[in-house]
Amino acid sequence: MYIGVIICAMLIDTHCHLDFERFDEDRDAIVARAAEAGITRIIVPALQLENCTAVLRLTEQYEGVYAAVGIHPNSSAAWEDGWINQIRAFAQHEKVVAIGEIGLDYHWDESPKTVQHRALRMQLDLAAELDLPVILHNRESSADIVELLQQSPARKGVMHSFSASWQTAVSVLEMGFYLGFTGPVTFKKADELRAIVARVPADRLLLETDAPFLTPHPYRGKRNEPAYVAYIADRVAAVRGVTVAELATQTTANAERLFGIG
């Protein structure tokens, strides 16, 4: 496969579901292709207790793979407070760099809002207790997630695959969080999102694929993979009027600082 974007500096894919079945056939090749494209480090967030073990196993298998552990809002319907102890135990693993992915999702509405709120609150408290950053999922739930963050002691983390308004961006940035951008910044009709990407402070910007989802142009519709973070970098650099090398240096430093993997 030819990656048409030449990257002079290293990039980090700060959000990839590398444990998914869709990568079972060719996971080694995918990690190798990413490394060839300059993406030597990948952060893999868990979604529920069941895949925490699989995610941790990947970190032992691949040197450049790191993990986040936590319960996704769409997997929180059966939330029990005791789960927090299991997440705390998983978080002791030396390659766990964050609690995630956690948050709110009112689009799919898989779990009652009150349950989503409780799961998020408890996991934010855990992140603060362990001094770990959080990886936040927010879908059509901006007002509530901002309010819950304001009430929580957690002040380190990223709102991943940012797709909300500039007003939400400002609220989250003011609390000290980073914003992560994915494939949609390359989509034809994403001018509003690109206007936000252009305004984010350079030291709060992260790049991620969310693979296998959200595949950037020119592979939209196909399976996404970490190597494609190069296409996101290319577009974000153009939007911000910097070189890809400058953007790569900046976003890699940001990810190293936030996740402590420098």
Q: Give the shortest CB-82-to-Zn ion separation in angstroms.
A: 24
Of 11 and 244, CB closest to Zn ion = 11
Paired with 128 in beta bridges are none
Residue number, nearest CB to Zn ion: 210
Of 19 and 210, CB closest to Zn ion = 210
Interface contacts to Zn ion, rule CB under 5 A: 210
Q: Give the shortest CB-106-to-Zn ion separation in angstroms.
A: 16
- How far is 216 from 214, CA to CA, in rounded Å? 6
Closest to 206 in 3D by CA, of 252, 153, 139, 260: 252
Of 210 and 234, CB closest to Zn ion = 210
Q: Give the shortest CB-249-to-Zn ion separation in angstroms.
A: 25
Q: Give the shortest CB-213-to-Zn ion separation in angstroms.
A: 7
Of 44 and 149, CB closest to Zn ion = 44
